[in-house]
Chains A and B, each alone.
Chain A
């Protein structure tokens, strides 16, 4: 038995933390939650004075890299990083080698996960075979094996007709269709948001319309087919506007934003730092503002880190050549706390809703709660602590992060799973 004593419990339902002690048994089931619990003999007590107990986060957008790219990340290191970052459940993107585009591959990935991961890693499948955007992947097999969504990850389904068939077909299985919002003909070899900074640095730009047009297209196809659509990594103010109006029209759409797009801008790409090279690219301050607003007003449903590990060596090439993506599982909670919660832009309740409860609901899972009888999935967070994001701190194989070397407010003491 373990007793988490003298802490406060936060949830999506209440802006104020509530005093609460939590008793967890050997099987990881929460035995009791009460204002004060006295530890019996043999109970290990964890002093949580000054700390909050936070329901485990759920990340909708994680690239585990295994199988196929184990030099970047493995399922084991990914799980370790997630736990270290307060994330107790996540959805694996299907862009491994081979891409997860059939029921058998879903099954074999689930088997791999169950061997190495102490936390729930849900599997997504591809929309099209090999993510090539040419023909439908094996939807029924993937659905029956329990794939929680279908997505070609950062590949756009290029043909609107094919996307339409995907959505029509996915609807039969009540599968969530997830897209990344990109117009390759506009993105081309772009490496950074198109604008003043891309001009100054002389890098090929990716215009905002590249994502905006794709979002619009995907939402219209979803409207036309009645399918459920989830949009990943919304990055622009216009995108938020489109989604808000689509929701008003009753289109069955949800969307996510990354912590990076909420709090960093293109201006941060100083000195060609590839740790700021993201897909979609970091945009302008006005976009950040609109995204934060969208998160608060409900237009944006979820925060997802788009944990996309690459080796430091891969990232150490020139900006245009370096791959897109950074690791995110271990820094999302800290970054959001530092930038928003500690500055009272929004509270734990909104954050838990957007990074724990609603992401689970999007893939039809029950949100986790810190309550009697529940499986323990929470973490102990010290709002007065400080965390320096160093190579040593990070458990991911990819110490590539815009926050590398920075000190963020707050400290994740322990994640209980």
Chain B
């Protein structure tokens, strides 16, 4: 992640910062959901990690929460624009009854909102939860569709030419949130 004259990288959250943000998410979820029948669904790849981390925090507080996974590749609205990178599919796994369950969808960053739209479509094909909410680690703004997160770890002012990289040890062998600016 070395900078070049055209690309600058700024660390927004350290691993400690991520931990704190996750704690904020966990606390907020507990306070709002109480004892309701609750399940998490993470959007591949890092949304899954985020969901698991939050679930771990809740588990430590004695609240067990199952985590499902969702690959939204097949629901994307930009299939025609796939370039040279071929999408590798992951198996979605929603191992619990959605009917009557309050589901919290996890994604690491919310940007245009299109991923969330795809995730909502995908989730609908698994069943009809009593309620669906959205939790994100970072909200970087610039929505293109009317979708807003219910739980936010950290809000970030960004420019369109920037992008936010979330790195988790489990997925990336390093930890941190970075704001990358391309000039």
- Whether A and B touch directly in their complex, counting CB atoms under 8 A apart, is answered as no
- Give the A-binding residues of B (Cβ under 8 A): none
Interface residues of A (CB under 8 A from B): none
